[in-house]
Structure 1
């Protein structure tokens, strides 16, 4: 199987035809879940939360916040990238949250 390269968030990602051809069911914004992974005292996390709150309120999506200091697995996975934003469990971005990009993701 030959690799397929996709552009995502300014980066080129390699995937296989099998994974690239996987059909994903379109969800309504109110069915989407945004997860903010961060830690207390992180100013970038506070900035990310403000963007997430605003966009989720506009489009009707739910959001949750997880603290890496309370979860060893999240800490191992994300400690160098916080804040990390997941949409429906898949990493959307890290460090800075672009309001327009998050809105597009939730309404696509």
Structure 2
């Protein structure tokens, strides 16, 4: 089973660290699954999202990038 929420980022990215905290908190509170994906390990993801990381996808749809907003993530999960 794949995670409903995906956090696309890369190692050493300070915005990704902040996004991880937001995603973890919202998903843990909601009981949602989530996974972190390193965009640099997939050429297609790197090309599509490399300049936008961190990016959050819910059910495959982009719901945020750079500064991840908890309220926007919650709304996308509803």
Considering the TM-score relative to the shorter chain, is it more than 0.5? Answer: yes
Q: Per the alignment, in what secondary structure is the counterpart of residue 82 of structure 1?
A: coil
- Which structure has more relative contact order (CA 8 Å, sep 6+)? It is 2
Tell me the distance in 2 between the aligned counterparts of 1:47 and 1:88.
21
Q: Does 1:55 align with 2:26?
A: yes
TM-score of the two chains, using structure 1 as the length reference = 0.67
Could you say what the CA RMSD is over the residues aligned between the two structures, in angstroms? 1.1
Q: CA deviation at 1:36?
A: 0.5
Structure (1/2) with the larger strand percentage: 1
Tell me the distance in 2 between the aligned counterparts of 1:101 and 1:77.
21
Q: Which position in structure 2 is the counterpart of 1:6?
A: none
Larger Rg: 1
Moved over 3 A (4+): none
TM-score of the two chains, using structure 2 as the length reference = 0.92
Structure 2 residue ranges without an equivalent (≥5): none
Structure 1 residue ranges without an equivalent (≥5): 1-31
Q: How many residues align?
A: 76
